[in-house]
Every structure is written in C-alpha cells, then in structure tokens.
C-alpha cells in the first residue's frame, strides 16, 4: 500500500506530538518512505497520548476516565459511525479499520497497569502487558500500511517494548512502581535473551516490504537488549542506552539493510 492520506494540519500536529514525546520513534518514521508517514504519525501520536494519560494525574479515577475517553474514540472508529473531532482521533480514523481499532483498544486496557502501584502478578502478566502495548502498537502500525501476518509483528514489537521498558525502570522505581517481576541481574538477562530470540524469530518469518516502515520502530532494540545480556546491572543503574552517535549509525544501518 503506497497511497497515503493527506498530510494535513492534523497529521502535522501528530508528527509534532511524536517528535516531542518519542524522538527515537519519530526518527524511525522520518527514516522511512514519505508515503508511510501520514499513516504512522497518527498511530504513534495516539500511543503517546494514551501512555501519558495515567501519569498526568495522581487520581486513579481521573486517569481511568482519560483512558476511557480513548476507548470510546476507538469504539467510534471500530463501528464506522461518526467519529469525534480531535487532532489525533480524526486522522487516526482514516488509517485504522475495525481490527486495528480493536488492537489499540486492548493497548489502552493494558495501560491500566500504569494507573496503579500494583506489581505485575507474574511473568505471564508482564509478557501480556508488553505484547498488548508494544506488540499491538507495531501490529496496528504495520496493518495500516499493508496486509501482514500477526505473529512476526507481535514478536518484533515485544522485543522493542522490552528494550524501552527496561530503559524506564529507574524512573518507574523512583515513582514508587514495581516494574520488575524478578529484578535479579540473572533474571533480567534471561528476559533480554528471550526478547532477542523473539526479535530473530520475527525477522526469520519476515514481513512484507510495505510493512517495514513500521518495523523500523525497533531499530534500537537489538543493541539495547545485547547490552542487558552482557551487563544486566545497567538496567537498575540507569546505564542502559545508546550514545547519540551510536543511535545515528544504528538507524542508518537498519534503514539500509531493512532489518532490525
């Protein structure tokens, strides 16, 4: 699919939201083809707004109401009826079908974990959280570009999501959250190794060429996860990350090779 919606004022606003809120993902979109940008920016702007919702208030009920607002908007898109006017929702409705709206609705539901201070119930709960947030985001983005098989995108999204989540662990702990089911270095290393296996599995199955702009969002996952495998203490210490030069070189390499 190479026909793009108009890059109008709403899509421009979405691009600005992504540039401010998720500069690495913004860089991945800008590294991809121009035709994909008007499809990806509304989805990624939606993700930023939903991810932000639980953190802009100390009142769980208000946070729940904010998440419900997005669920209601997605229901309007899913059912094909009138859709509320909004700088993110309006362009989002142009690029999502009913199944895409359902995927993102589950993403919103998973974000309810962010509202409260409860730990994840177990490793399975943590895995579902990553699959329904980062995995569903990547799958919905890819589906907005072309027809895809779900599992490779879920695997690639999971790996990207874990890498990003592990970078956020010190901040989450500072806010009184319990982000890790098992924070021992050896357990964290196993998590990263498993995510690397999922990254490889997703690439071995492959995705259509037209879906690759969505996969570019995982451009930093491999070096970050490898860093965790080598030095799992970097997660708790807040040392997990790439230098600015390393980021530029990595994104150039992934864009050139078409593989993350």
pLDDT at residue 7 above 70?
yes
Helix boundaries (H) for the chain: 9-21, 23-31, 34-52, 60-79, 89-95, 98-110, 123-130, 136-143, 150-174, 185-205, 212-215, 221-230, 233-237, 244-257
Ramachandran bin of 94, using left for φ above 0, alpha for ψ from -120 to 50, beta for the remaining angles:
alpha
List the structure tokens of 127.
């895995």
pLDDT of residue 3: 56
Which percentage of the chain shows pLDDT scores above 70?
98
Residues 6+ away with beta carbon under 8 Å from 58: none
DSSP secondary structure letter of residue 33: -
DSSP secondary structure letter of residue 176: T
Mean pLDDT to the nearest integer, 128-143: 98
| Each residue's pLDDT tens digit, 92-107 | 999 999 999 999 999 9
Q: Is this structure's pTM higher than 0.75?
A: yes
Q: 136 with 103: CB under 8 angstroms? A: yes
CA 252 to chain centre: 20
Averaged confidence pLDDT in the chain? 96
| Each residue's pLDDT tens digit, 210-244 | 999 999 999 999 999 999 999 999 999 999 999 99
């Amino acid at each position: 699919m190479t026909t793009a919606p108009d890059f109008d004022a709403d899509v421009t606003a979405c691009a600005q939201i992504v540039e401010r809120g998720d500069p690495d993902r913004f860089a991945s979109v800008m590294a991809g083809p121009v035709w994909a940008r008007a499809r990806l920016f509304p989805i990624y702007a939606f993700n930023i707004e939903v991810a932000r919702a639980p953190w802009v208030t100390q009142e769980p009920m208000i946070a729940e109401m904010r998440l419900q607002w997005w669920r209601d908007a997605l229901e309007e898109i899913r059912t094909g009826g009138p859709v509320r006017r909004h700088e993110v929702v309006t362009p989002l409705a142009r690029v999502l079908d009913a199944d895409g709206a359902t995927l993102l609705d589950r993403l919103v539901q998973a974000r309810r974990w962010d509202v409260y201070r409860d730990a994840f119930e177990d490793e399975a709960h943590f895995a579902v959280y990553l699959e329904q947030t980062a995995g569903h985001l990547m799958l919905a983005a890819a589906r907005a570009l072309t027809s895809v098989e779900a599992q490779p995108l879920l695997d690639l999204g999971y790996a990207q999501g874990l890498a990003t989540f592990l970078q956020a662990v010190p901040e989450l702990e500072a806010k009184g959250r319990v982000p890790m089911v098992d924070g021992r270095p050896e357990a964290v290393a196993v998590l990263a190794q498993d995510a690397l296996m999922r990254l490889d599995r997703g690439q071995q199955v492959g995705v259509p060429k037209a879906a690759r702009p969505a996969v570019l969002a995982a451009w930093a996952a491999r070096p970050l996860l490898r860093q965790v495998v080598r030095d799992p203490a970097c997660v708790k210490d807040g040392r997990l990350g790439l230098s600015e030069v390393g980021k530029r070189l990595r994104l150039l390499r992934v864009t050139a090779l078409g593989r993350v």
